[in-house]
């Protein structure tokens, strides 16, 4: 029994000595992270809004006289010039009315000439008392009556000629014409109120874009350092377009803020030489929120989120990770503006963020220099803070 216990004791001591003689496993190397210094760039901040396009001028072409459509002289969707002939309404009834009015004018002119001659004879006889005062007054009144009848006949002739001219319906403005809403042979109603719509014409160049801006944005637009006569720039993009290729200017602010929405209607005007902008389209429009200013920018991927704040990890001089709470601004592509919380000398972690904790010692590698942005960077966002 003693021999067995002794053997076990010797084996235990031998195992302990063997285990103590093994080398300890080396500690893992510090994690590798990529760091980058914040960039300072001159940035123009823009406010972006949804907008809709509207023609500067739009005319519903309606007839001024009633009648049957005799002919149509345009192609649907074509561009027309002011004064171009569009429709012809059957002119024959109006030509007959003009001929009748001319005959009435001639008869009234003949009557007036006769009564005037009678009055002249009466005036010569009145001097010799060869005519009574009653007869003289009668001829004088007849002359005035004939003169009034002649004026009425002339006015009727002018009105008849106007109606005849109105049978030729012409374009009121230059622009793009819509489809014909009536065809040859149809009866159309003229005059005020119930006049038939024949077609529509809209101007194409320039074109308006209307959008609604919040009332708190007005001070920025009115006091952004522009000269008194310098217009406020604006840019526009259609659905599917990259960037904002259409350049324009703001030419109108409404005279009051909508109390229901707290917004004010704003209008931009844009050149449309290539006719890419069509009235009725929806678009994105942006206006500068202020003059260009130097801004600190970091990669957007470096920004972390907590419930009540936003932060980045920075590596200090001893390669230890620290947390910096920041106040972010607008985005610039893959970059994010930082308003507070960082300096240009801070090394911000931009890669390897998932395993980091404050106080971790790391091996920092400098990020390769990204493409240098333009001297004046363009920021497009709806708000000066992150969403």
Q: What is the DSSP string of 82-130?
A: TT-EEEEE--HHHHHHHHHHHHHHHHHHHHHHHHHHHHHHHHHHHHTT-
Q: What are the structural domain ranges in the chain?
A: 32-43+292-381, 48-56+204-288, 59-90+167-202, 92-166
User: What is the reported pLDDT for 358?
Assistant: 84
The Cα 49–Cα 382 span in angstroms is 7
The Cα 73–Cα 189 span in angstroms is 19
The Cα 385–Cα 340 span in angstroms is 12
- 125 Cβ contact list (under 8 Å, min separation 6): 131
Q: 59-90+167-202, which class in CATH? A: mainly beta
User: What is the reported pLDDT for 367?
Assistant: 76
**Residue among 218, 214, 220, 248 nearest 233 (CA):** 248
Question: Would you say domain 32-43+292-381 falls under CATH 3.30.200.210?
Answer: no
In the chain the first and final C-alpha atoms are separated, in Å, by 80
The Cα 287–Cα 235 span in angstroms is 7
Tokens representing residue 19 in the block: 């285990």
Second CATH level (architecture) for the domain 92-166: Orthogonal Bundle (1.10)
Residue 46, exposed/middle/buried by CB under 10 A (0-12, 13-18, 19+)?
buried
The Cα 387–Cα 382 span in angstroms is 9
Q: How far is CA 380 from CA 49, 212, 221, 252, in A?
A: 10, 17, 16, 22
User: What is the reported pLDDT for 378?
Assistant: 41
Contact assessment for residue 266 and residue 282, using Cβ atoms and an 8 Å cutoff: no
The Cα 341–Cα 310 span in angstroms is 10
Q: Which CATH superfamily is domain 48-56+204-288 in?
A: Efflux pump adaptor protein, beta barrel domain (2.40.30.170)
335 by DSSP, 3-state: which? strand
Q: What share of the chain is helix, strand, coil (3-state, %, to 5)?
A: 25, 35, 40
Contact assessment for residue 332 and residue 292, using Cβ atoms and an 8 Å cutoff: no
Contact assessment for residue 71 and residue 382, using Cβ atoms and an 8 Å cutoff: no
Q: Could you report the average pLDDT of every consecutive run of 10 residues in the chain (387 residues)? A: 53 55 66 85 86 95 94 94 95 94 92 84 73 78 88 93 94 95 93 87 95 90 59 90 91 92 94 93 90 84 83 86 84 82 86 79 72 39 37
User: What is the reported pLDDT for 51?
Assistant: 95
Residue 321: which H helix or E strand, with range? strand 321-332
The Cα 105–Cα 155 span in angstroms is 9
What is the reported pTM?
Answer: 0.70
Tokens representing residue 135 in the block: 């007869």
148 by DSSP, 3-state: which? helix
């Amino acid at each position: 029994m003693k021999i067995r216990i002794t053997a076990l004791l010797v084996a235990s001591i031998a195992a302990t000595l063997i285990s103590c003689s093994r080398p300890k496993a080396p500690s893992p190397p510090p994690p590798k992270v990529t760091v980058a210094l914040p960039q300072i760039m001159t940035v123009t901040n823009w406010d972006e809004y949804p907008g809709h396009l509207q023609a500067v001028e739009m005319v519903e072409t309606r007839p001024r006289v009633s009648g049957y459509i005799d002919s149509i002289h345009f192609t649907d969707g074509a561009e027309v010039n002011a004064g171009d002939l569009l429709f012809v309404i059957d002119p024959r009834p109006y030509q007959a009315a003009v001929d009748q009015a001319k005959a009435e004018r001639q008869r009234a002119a003949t009557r007036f000439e006769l009564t005037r001659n009678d009055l002249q004879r009466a005036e010569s006889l009145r001097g010799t008392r060869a005519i009574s005062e009653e007869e003289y007054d009668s001829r004088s009144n007849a002359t005035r009556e004939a003169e009034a009848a002649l004026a009425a006949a002339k006015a009727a002739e002018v009105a008849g000629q106007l109606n005849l001219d109105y049978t030729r319906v012409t374009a009121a403005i230059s622009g793009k014409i819509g489809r014909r809403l009536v065809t040859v042979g149809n009866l159309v109603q003229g005059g005020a109120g119930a006049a038939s719509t024949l077609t529509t014409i809209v101007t194409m160049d320039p074109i308006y874009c209307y959008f609604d801006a919040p009332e708190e944005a007005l001070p920025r637009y009115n006091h952004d350092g522009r000269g008194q006569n310098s217009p406020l720039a604006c840019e526009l993009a259609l659905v599917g377009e990259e960037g904002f290729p259409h350049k324009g200017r703001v030419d109108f602010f409404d005279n009051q803020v909508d109390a229901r929405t707290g917004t004010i209607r704003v209008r931009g005007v844009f050149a449309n030489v290539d006719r890419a902008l069509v009235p009725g389209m929806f678009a994105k429009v942006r206006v500068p929120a202020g003059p260009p200013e130097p801004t600190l920018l970091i990669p957007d991927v470096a920004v972390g989120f907590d419930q009540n704040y936003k932060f980045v990890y920075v590596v200090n001089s001893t390669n230890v990770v620290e947390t910096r709470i920041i106040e972010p601004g607008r985005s610039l592509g893959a970059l994010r503006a930082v308003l507070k919380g960082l300096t240009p000398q801070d090394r911000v972690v931009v890669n390897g963020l998932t395993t980091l904790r404050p106080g971790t010692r790391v091996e920092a590698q400098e990020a390769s220099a990204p493409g240098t942005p333009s001297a004046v960077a363009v920021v497009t966002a709806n708000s000066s803070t992150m969403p």
